[in-house]
């Protein structure tokens, strides 16, 4: 019996998932879209860009589209999992800070009924924001999310060397706090947040790296149709039987043998014990393509679990010019 047939008798049909039959992408067809809030976050900025600058309406269906913020990544993912929204957008990776651990862990361990249906890449441009009338030389404290503070560390050291830096739950929450303060505080955040809370931008482009960008993913209970005229990637989670020499090689050789290009591989704690890991793998192609399907099917023979997180269109490189 050949390898594929042997694996098929022990594996599962990893392509078996209810798949969209809509003419348009799922995220454009959604009437309710959740996102990591509050309003004014980089996630909302990416969502508006992904929806073509018309987030409140669906021109194809001729209906209103509701964008709903949630307090955390976990809440956002659970909202789409429970059917409270049609789809949701959350961050999964930053070019400077790396993977967003909460997102990958929730997808691996907390939900089993969701698929990644599209990724979008958004340039991250940080601004120093304050209440109207506050000047740069007046600023006594800078508030923002720890990632934003870290991404602007050199600028802060050079321009506000003696100013206290304080952490907030999000960049938007930071701007909201600054707007409510009588003291001359400033926040690192988005233009959306500045407009939302009645503040102004003191300084533009304060990030330390010009190529800072974040990859966001849309999640849905349906799988995206596999025949859109775009390049695709497939994301999977692999759980090994036990820690042993060659465990990772067992995974990689299935892809190398079939000339499948892997675009990312990352280990994360399995939550089963110290030193026990799972692997997140992104590859070119769709689960409907024979070579990808064969590789994943054969991995089910060798591994404790193979979980397909989605097979979806690849995000385009971002344009640096601001759209807001």
Question: Is pLDDT above 70 for 172?
Answer: yes
When pLDDT is averaged across residues 297-324 and rounded to a whole number, the result is: 79
Token representation of residue 129: 């924001």
On whether the CB atoms of residues 130 and 202 are closer than 8 A, the answer is: yes
Which one is catalytic: 214, 234, 286, 300? 214
When pLDDT is averaged across residues 174-191 and rounded to a whole number, the result is: 95
Please, what is the Cα angle at 287 between 284 and 293, to 5 degrees? 100
Omega before 38 cis (within 30°)?
yes
> Higher confidence at residue 322 or residue 183?
183
216 is catalytic: yes
Give me the phi and psi of 224, to 5 degrees please: -65, 145
- Residue 143, pLDDT score: 96
Question: Is pLDDT above 70 for 321?
Answer: no
Question: Is pLDDT above 60 for 12?
Answer: no
Q: Which residues pair with 164 in a beta bridge?
A: 141
On whether the CB atoms of residues 229 and 155 are closer than 8 A, the answer is: no
Q: Selecting from 3.40.30.10, 3.90.1200.10, 2.40.50.140, 3.30.70.260, what CATH number does the domain 1-17+231-324 have? A: 3.30.70.260
- Residue 319, pLDDT score: 61
The string of DSSP codes covering 40-72 is TSHHHHHHHHHTTT-TTEETTTTEE-EEEEESS
When pLDDT is averaged across residues 138-149 and rounded to a whole number, the result is: 93
When pLDDT is averaged across residues 111-129 and rounded to a whole number, the result is: 95
Q: How does pLDDT run across 25-39, given as a tens digit for each residue? A: 888 889 999 999 899
CA 54/CA 68 separation, integer angstroms: 15
Going by their DSSP bridges, the two strands 185-189 and 141-144 should be labelled as parallel
Residues of each domain in the chain carrying CATH 3.30.70.260: 1-17+231-324
Question: Is pLDDT above 50 for 2?
Answer: no
* Residue 11 pLDDT class (50, 70, 90 cuts): very low
Which one is catalytic: 216, 255, 279, 280? 216
Question: Is pLDDT above 50 for 208?
Answer: yes
- Residue 211, pLDDT score: 86
The b-or-e profile of 276-289 (16+ CB within 10 A means b, else e) is: ebbbbbbbbbbbbb
The CATH architecture to which 127-203 belongs is: 3-Layer(aba) Sandwich (3.40)
Residues of each domain in the chain carrying CATH 3.40.190.10: 18-124+212-222, 127-203
* Residue 119 pLDDT class (50, 70, 90 cuts): very high
- Residue 14, pLDDT score: 62
- Strands, sheet with 262-269, edge to edge from the N-terminal-most edge strand: 262-269, 277-284, 232-239, 305-313
**Homologous superfamily (CATH) for 18-124+212-222:** Periplasmic binding protein-like II (3.40.190.10)
Q: Which residues pair with 19 in a beta bridge?
A: 223
- Residue 76, pLDDT score: 96
- Residue 318, pLDDT score: 64
Q: How does pLDDT run across 307-319, given as a tens digit for each residue? A: 999 999 998 876 6
Percent of the chain whose predicted confidence (pLDDT) is above 90: 66
- Residue 13, pLDDT score: 63
- Residue 322, pLDDT score: 43
Instruction: Say which residues have a Cβ less than 8 Å from residue 295's Cβ, sequence separation at least 6.
Output: 254, 255, 257, 258, 260
On whether the CB atoms of residues 40 and 243 are closer than 8 A, the answer is: no
- Residue 53, pLDDT score: 67
Lowest average pLDDT, out of 87-91, 158-162, 186-190, 243-247, goes to 243-247
Token representation of residue 240: 């090994």
pLDDT, mean over the chain: 88
* Residue 8 pLDDT class (50, 70, 90 cuts): very low
CA 68/CA 83 separation, integer angstroms: 13
* Residue 3 pLDDT class (50, 70, 90 cuts): very low
Q: How does pLDDT run across 47-82, given as a tens digit for each residue? A: 999 988 655 555 455 567 899 999 999 999 999 999
CA 212/CA 208 separation, integer angstroms: 8
Helix count and strand count (H, E) for the chain: 11, 17
């Amino acid at each position: 019996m050949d390898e594929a047939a042997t694996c098929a008798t022990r594996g599962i049909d990893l392509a078996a998932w209810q798949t969209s039959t809509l003419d348009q992408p799922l995220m454009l067809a959604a009437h309710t879209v959740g996102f990591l809030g509050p309003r004014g976050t980089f996630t909302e900025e990416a969502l508006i860009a992904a929806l073509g600058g018309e987030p409140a309406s669906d021109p194809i269906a001729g209906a209103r589209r509701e964008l709903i913020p949630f307090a955390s990544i976990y809440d956002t993912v659970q909202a789409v999992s429970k059917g409270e929204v049609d789809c949701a957008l959350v961050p999964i990776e930053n070019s400077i800070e790396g993977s967003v651990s909460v997102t990958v862990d929730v997808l691996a361990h907390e939900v089993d009924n969701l698929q990644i249906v599209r990724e979008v890449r958004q340039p991250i441009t940080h601004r120093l924001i304050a209440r109207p009338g506050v000047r740069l030389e007046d600023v006594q404290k800078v508030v923002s999310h720890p990632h934003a503070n870290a991404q602007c560390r050199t600028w802060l050291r050079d321009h506000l060397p003696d100013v206290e830096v304080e952490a907030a739950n999000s960049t938007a929450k930071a701007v909201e706090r600054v707007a409510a303060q009588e003291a001359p505080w400033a926040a690192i955040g988005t233009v959306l947040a500045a407009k939302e809370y009645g503040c102004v931008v003191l300084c533009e482009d304060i990030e330390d790296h010009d190529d800072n960008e974040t990859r966001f993913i849309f999640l849905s209970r349906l799988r995206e149709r596999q025949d859109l005229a775009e390049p695709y990637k497939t994301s999977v989670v692999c759980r090994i039987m036990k820690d042993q020499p060659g465990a990772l090689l067992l995974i990689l050789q299935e892809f190398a043998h079939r000339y499948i290009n892997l675009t990312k591989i990352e280990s994360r704690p399995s939550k089963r014990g110290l030193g026990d890991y799972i692997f997140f793998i992104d590859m070119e192609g769709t689960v409907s393509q024979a070579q990808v399907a064969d590789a994943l099917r054969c991995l089910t023979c060798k591994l404790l679990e193979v979980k397909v997180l989605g097979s979806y269109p690849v995000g385009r490189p971002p344009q640096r010019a601001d759209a807001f």
